[in-house]
Homo-oligomer: A and B are copies of this chain.
Amino acid sequence: MFRGGWGQHSWWQGKFRGCGYRITLGREAILDVLSKSDKHLSAEDIYTKVHSKYPNVGLTTVYRTLDVLVNLGLVFKSDFGDKRARYELAEGPKGAHHHHHLICTNCNRVIDYTDFIDEEIELLNRTEKGLSKKYNFKITNHLIQFYGLCSNCVGK
């Protein structure tokens, strides 16, 4: 069967196969949509895009695939306060891609930033160390989001 224009071995397929998952057309399409977007997509956003090209891929499969991808650590699932979960690639061909978010409370725009990560990480490490000791809590991850008004909304 012909398989779109993704080439024989996409960067993610190794990890995927290694965990015993099968490579299917729907899964390829979903990862393709995620790879080509820099937005924070909802399951339905993804479904709409995939479905326009492959009308036989259903919303259920999108949810199920996203779940797998999140568990594999290939995708991040976030909650920005609208009622739906948002998904974005956590790791691309180039590797990991940790970042934090600026969220506009007026227009709901979400900005990724990685600029200050280095400086932040340094201080985060110290903070995490202090907290770990004080509360005997083994920190494995963090969520940092700043809320406010984006450049479009700050002038009211």
CB distance A145 to B146 under 8 Å?
Answer: no
CB distance A146 to B117 under 8 Å?
Answer: no
CB distance B151 to A137 under 8 Å?
Answer: yes
Say yes or no for A124: interface residue by CB 8 A criterion: yes
**Set of chain B residues within 8 Å of A115, measured between Cβ atoms:** 130-131, 134
CB distance A142 to B147 under 8 Å?
Answer: yes
CB distance B138 to A148 under 8 Å?
Answer: yes
CB distance B113 to A131 under 8 Å?
Answer: yes
The DSSP consensus for interface residues of chain A is mixed
Say yes or no for A126: interface residue by CB 8 A criterion: yes
Interfacial residues of chain A within 101-115, with CB under 8 A of chain B in the complex: 102, 104-105, 111, 113, 115
How many Å from the CB of A121 to the closest CB on chain B?
Answer: 10
How many Å from the CB of A135 to the closest CB on chain B?
Answer: 6
For this complex, 30 residue pairs linking A to B, each with C-beta atoms less than 8 Å apart, are A79-B79, A102-B135, A104-B137, A105-B140, A105-B141, A111-B137, A115-B134, A117-B130, A117-B131, A119-B126, A119-B127, A123-B123, A123-B124, A123-B127, A127-B146, A128-B146, A135-B150, A136-B150, A136-B154, A137-B146, A137-B149, A137-B151, A137-B154, A138-B149, A140-B147, A141-B147, A141-B148, A142-B145, A143-B143, A143-B145
**Known pairs A111-B137, A142-B144 / 11 extra A-B pairs, C-beta < 8 Å:** A105-B140, A117-B126, A119-B123, A119-B126, A122-B123, A127-B146, A136-B151, A140-B148, A141-B147, A142-B147, A143-B144
